[in-house]
Structure 1
Amino acid sequence: MSWNIRPITSDDDAAMARIIRAVMPEFGACGDGFAINDPEVDWMSRAYSEPRHAYFVLERDGNLIGGGGMAPLAGGDPFVCELRKMYFLPEARGLGAGAAMMTVCLDAARNAGFHQCYLETLSGMDAAMRLYERTGFRRIDHALGATGHGGCDSFYLLDL
């Protein structure tokens, strides 16, 4: 394994913001209704320092190449978390890092006392959708909570 997953620090904020802003347009996730416009993108370490929140970065050779996290589902059941902002640069894809990041995030969710994990994504993110389904997420036909990401059109839920 030539990469490492670790908790985000404030020193990672600028690099993670660049990654998110580079990857989202690749899949047409620009404009209103997408996470790219969330103010927390510029200060991820602070946003995920709250109780029952966690964000992890993927590092290779001292450079960040992706990240992913989880937090309580806004406007949702207190025992449901949301898998959030899991994005990888092209050089991170196909290495097995996505499955490893998913394991780390879901373990953090279980340890925080969540019973289910929800996620929203966008048609066209086919590799991500295959990863979600391999992990045990099942498609649901509607959004949960109040994420503010009205641009997403695919919704998944996993019993933890």
Structure 2
Amino acid sequence: MEYIIRAITAEDDLTVKSIIHAVGAEFGAIGEGFGPSDDEVYAMSSHYKTEYQSQYFVAELNGKVIGGSGIASFHHSNETCELKKLFILPDARGLGVGKGLTKACLNFAKEQGFRECYLDTLSNMESAIALYKKMGFVQLEQPHIDSTHNGCDIWMLKQL
């Protein structure tokens, strides 16, 4: 099965919101302190734009969006970016989609001149954590001081 990765469009917003909410609920990421509750989830394409040093990518298989992930400046930093909202539908896992999306995000981050990439996630997202470690992320002892997702219990950083 071949999937493609491309930048999000406004036509993808509703599907991406649905994926983020469904997968977030699957892993208990419900309510304040979790990414699926962020306001941006309702219109991802308008929040992630190159001119903001950010981009949200979607993975598409047979014309259907099956997941996505974003990269954005971490609290307006020129040095640190954040890998955000990597969510993939259950039936699309195991195809390398997460790795492809993460690579697209990190490549974009490097092109934008970021020096490091932060992320936060949940300890029950074991496959995601394993992927992040394979991609060179190192687990931190505590969240970044500016982290807003206080429901997360895993924090990681990668030097770019």
TM class, shorter-chain normalised?
over 0.9
The within-5 A match list for 1:1-160 is 1-49=1-49, 50-74=51-75, 77-160=77-160
- The one-letter amino acid of 1:31's match is G
**Does the aligned pair in 1 maintain the 2:57–2:69 contact within 8 Å?**
yes
**TM-score normalised to structure 2 length:** 0.96
Distance 2:145 2:102 in 1: 21
CA contact (8 A) 1:121 1:154 kept: yes
The structure-2 alpha-carbon separation of the partners of 1:79 and 1:58, relative to structure 1 and needing over 3 Å to count, comes to same
| Stretches of structure 2 lacking an aligned partner (at least 5 in a row) | none
Q: Distance in 2 between matches of 1:145 and 1:108?
A: 24
CA shift, 1:74, in A, is 1.7
Give distance in 1, aligned partners of 2:155 and 2:37.
Answer: 20
Distance in 2, matches of 1:129 and 1:46, equals: 28
CA offset at residue 94 of structure 1? 0.2
Distance 1:37 1:46 in 2: 17
The C-alpha deviation readout for 1:40-77, integer Å capped at 9, x for no partner, is 101000000242101100101111110001001126x4
Given the two structures, how large is their TM-score scaled by the length of structure 1?
0.96
1:6 and 1:133 map into 2 onto residues whose CA distance is: 24
Number of residue pairs matched by the alignment = 159
Structure 1 unaligned segments of length 5 or more: list them: none
Secondary structure at the aligned position of 2:95 is classed as coil
Q: Residue 38 of structure 1 aligns to which amino acid in structure 2?
A: D
Residue aligned with 1:150, SS? coil
Sequence identity of aligned pairs in percent?
44
Q: Is the 8 A contact 1:83 1:118 kept in 2?
A: yes
State the superposition RMSD in angstroms: 1.1
Letter in 1 for 2:52: P
Superposition misfits of 4+ residues, deviation over 2 angstroms: none
